[in-house]
Amino acid sequence: MPHPDAPALPSVPAAFELPVPAEWQRIEFISDLHLQAGEPRTVAAWLDYLTHTTADAVFMLGDLFEVWIGDDVLDDAQSFEARCCERMRAIARHKALFFMQGNRDFLTGPTFAERSGCTWLSDPTAFEFAGQRYLLSHGDALCLDDTDYQRFRAMARTAAWQDAFLRQPIEARRAQARGMRDQSHSHQRAAMVYAELDRQASLDWLQAARATTLIHGHTHRPADHELAPGMRRIVLSDWDLDATPARAQVLRLDRLQGLQRLPWPCPAA
């Protein structure tokens, strides 16, 4: 337990401050789509959403892709990833798209950013909108109970680890990624329950960023949590259009109407 007078732990990262254009009226957030070739309905819903959203900006907060084995998947113009990037880039011509890495797609790199037309978001990122300050994160870095994962994460976000991993032939990396999935169902999702975000660490992050609302994904447990008076944590839903019932939800932050959760497709307005 740190001494009460000790300075903030080095594990509280400095948030990147994102300037928000004054003309933005509406920002929307999605995460945890786990896009993959074997789930075309989820991919279609995502593209439909990006094409038709009335938001000025869409923030994709991690695990957009089920897995990303390296930017060299984009070398093949017909690959699933290349086609997704092509569609994003077309949409990015008239709509601001922002991308934050998650624990599944943390190997996305500069080629992805360029080919997708997305603006890169650090984890965490802070911004101010309509007089309130928000902090955005994928959420995995705050699941402190999972010490094994935190050790891996610290290592896997270093250039040394990533260079070593990416040096493996692409087929070797593909084989490892395939090992994640059930052999009989190429796209079956894993039966996983995620640990909860650490409450004190979430508060520390918010306080360091001078923000009152943390928006994140990762746990696939959408809910609003009051962390302390005036401080809250809002969790995004994952997307799965093959589930019964299907799941696809957008968090909207509107200058006049505040925060709302909306299913996709949305009913009118």
Partner 1 sequence: MSNPQVELHITGHGVVTIELDAEKAPKSTENFLSYVNKGHYNNTIFHRVIPGFMVQGGGFEPGMTQKDTAAPIENEAKNGLKNTKYTLAMARTSDPHSASAQFFINVADNGFLNHTAPSAQGWGYAVFGKVVKGTEIVDAIKGVKTGRKGFHDDVPLTDVVIEKAVAL
In three-state secondary structure terms, 48 is: helix
The first and second tokens of residue 225, run together, are 């949590």
Name 191's Cβ contacts closer than 8 Å, sequence gap at least 6.
Answer: none
| Part in contact with partner 1 (CB under 8 A); list of ranges 45-53, 86-94, 122-130, 218-226 | 218-226
CA atoms within 13 A on the CB side of 137: 24
Residues 45-74 that bind partner 1 (CB under 8 A): 67
Residues 153-192 that bind partner 1 (CB under 8 A): 176-177, 179-180, 182-184, 188-192
Q: Please, is 13 exposed, middle or buried when counting C-beta atoms within 10 Å of its C-beta (0-12, 13-18, 19+)? A: middle
Which residues on neighbouring strands pair with residue 214, listed in sequence order? 135, 233
> Residues 244, 262: contact at Cβ < 8 Å?
no
Closer Cβ to partner 1, 38 or 222, answer by number = 222
CA atoms within 13 A on the CB side of 235: 19
Minimum gap (Å) between residue 108 Cβ and partner 1: 15
Minimum gap (Å) between residue 91 Cβ and partner 1: 26
Closer Cβ to partner 1, 213 or 237, answer by number = 237
Residues 231-250 that bind partner 1 (CB under 8 A): 237-238, 240, 243-245, 247
Closer Cβ to partner 1, 126 or 214, answer by number = 214
The first and second tokens of residue 215, run together, are 């928006």
Binding site for partner 1 (CB under 8 A): 67, 145-149, 152, 176-177, 179-180, 182-184, 188-193, 195-196, 220-223, 237-238, 240, 243-245, 247
